[in-house]
A and B are shown apart, each in its own frame.
Chain A
């Protein structure tokens, strides 16, 4: 079964840092581009970042550029999102997703709360 499991979310103060992880299983992780999408509870989906299958190509939404870094370890079948200089508006559920033009499957999400 193809599965994505996020972890690393939690409560962090404004200006703080957090690293999210996404453990992939059930498929050849190194063959797929991966993405992060976030959602404020009760609100819509927002694209955050994308990484190529070998990690050499990354792109970011303007709202996180320069603060967030996406990376991956294909040997560990794990996707990461390093989040620095966190702001209140970064509070959201963060989803790890496989694919490029059709995102499937989605993890269950991990909640990040930025608050003092």
Chain B
């Protein structure tokens, strides 16, 4: 149950697009289409942004999108806005009823 690998930080200017990667193995990310992404603002509980690799819950902006290729999943945020500045975590099903999170990525909006 090793954590998925995410970049520690990414940054972008308002209006730009950024992508956060989440790398696992064939036993988790690559083996199942059950990757989800969470946004967490300081002092707040996480919020679901993407589930099942690319599905967006109702109420989440369509500026957020998810994808997967092999053992790497990605979260893309387009039209970056100041309120997108937060920590982002990926999560994958890892078989046997277990799950694993990524280490988290701090997004800075310049």
- What is the distance, in angstroms, from A42's C-beta to the closest C-beta of chain B? 10
Interface residues of A toward B: which range? 20 to 34
State whether B36 touches A47 (Cβ < 8 A).
no
Which B residues lie within 8 Å of A50 (CB)?
Answer: 97-99
Known A-B contacts A101-B93, A102-B51, A103-B91; A46 and B45 likewise in contact (beta carbons under 8 Å): no
State whether B52 touches A44 (Cβ < 8 A).
no
State whether A106 touches B46 (Cβ < 8 A).
yes
State whether A47 touches B91 (Cβ < 8 A).
yes
Question: In chain B, residues 82-108, which have Cβ atoms closer than 8 Å to a Cβ of chain A?
Answer: 89, 91, 93, 96-104
State whether A45 touches B91 (Cβ < 8 A).
yes
Q: Is the CB of B18 closer than 8 A to any CB of chain A?
A: no
State whether A95 touches B89 (Cβ < 8 A).
no
Stretch at the interface among A8-16, A21-29, A54-62, A77-85: A54-62
Q: Is the CB of A104 closer than 8 A to any CB of chain B?
A: yes
- Write the residues of chain A forming the contact surface with B, with a CB cutoff of 8 angstroms: 35, 37, 44-47, 50, 57, 59-63, 95, 101-109
